[in-house]
């Protein structure tokens, strides 16, 4: 089995896992990963994470030209913005996960640091998550907003829409976006209950020990 064939199957396996656990439903969400030759494999437009076909993924060459597969997701500007601004990005995932979307609707949501510091893992895997305003689905302005961050964030939350996360590879990106949704779920579950979050000192110790991108 070739490296690209393995990557195609891994994309579809991880996407189905997220779909099966209700992290994105219907034909929502999109996912992409770098190939060994510098190209991209991307989920096609209008497809379900539960039923992706490895052989029909959109295939781009290193120059960004579609060379095989179905037409890609309309959210390509989001994906390419992360790849173009973060040299470490090997995969990008975008979900319509319910708890993170709910948290983005709260009037006191922190635009610069969207996730409250409830567990160490949200900090370790995501750093600070930037809350971006609402954009119409498919609007290239979403990509421009990500480019405006100049590669300083690995994750953003699109208000009233869903999270987008870049990782070093497809597994890291999926693990990180699941952590984002889990943290948002905890935040919504404990909302109004005055939960005991991690202290600023706790956060700084995590940032130092795990070399987290934080003060950006």
Distance in angstroms (rounded) separating the CA atoms of residues 48 and 125:
26
DSSP string, 106-119: STT--SSS-S---S
Strand-pair partners of 34: 40
Give Cβ neighbours of residue 65 (< 8 Å, ≥ 6 apart).
none
CB 74 within 8 A of CB 43: no
**Nearest 10 degrees: Cα torsion 168, 171, 175, 176:** 20
Q: What is the DSSP letter of 70?
A: S
User: Which pair of structure tokens corresponds to residue 173?
Assistant: 């990106």
Q: Out of 4, 121, 171, 213, which one is annotated catalytic?
A: 121
3-class SS of residue 168:
coil
Q: Out of 4, 9, 75, 179, which one is annotated catalytic?
A: 75
Question: Is 83 a catalytic site residue?
Answer: no
Which residues are marked as active site? 75, 121
């Amino acid at each position: 089995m070739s490296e690209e064939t393995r990557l195609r199957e891994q994309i579809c396996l991880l996407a189905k896992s997220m779909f099966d656990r209700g992290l994105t439903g219907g034909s929502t969400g999109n996912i992409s990963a770098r190939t060994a030759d510098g190209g991209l494999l991307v989920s096609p437009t209008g497809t379900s994470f539960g039923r992706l076909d490895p052989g029909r993924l959109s295939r781009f060459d290193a120059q960004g030209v579609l060379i095989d597969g179905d037409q890609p997701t309309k959210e390509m500007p989001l994906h390419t913005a992360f790849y173009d601004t973060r040299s470490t990005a090997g995969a990008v995932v975008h979900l319509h996960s319910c708890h993170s979307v709910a948290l983005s609707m709260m009037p006191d949501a922190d635009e610069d640091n969207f996730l409250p510091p409830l567990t160490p893992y949200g900090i370790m895997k995501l750093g600070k998550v930037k809350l971006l305003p609402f954009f119409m689905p498919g609007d290239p302005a979403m990509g421009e907003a990500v480019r405006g961050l100049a590669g300083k964030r690995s994750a953003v939350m699109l208000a009233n829409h869903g999270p987008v996360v870049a990782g070093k590879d497809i597994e890291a990106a999926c693990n990180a976006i699941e952590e984002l949704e889990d943290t948002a779920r905890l935040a919504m579950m404990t909302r109004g209950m005055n939960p005991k979050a991690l202290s600023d000192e706790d956060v700084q110790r995590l940032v130092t020990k795990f070399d987290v991108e934080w003060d950006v």
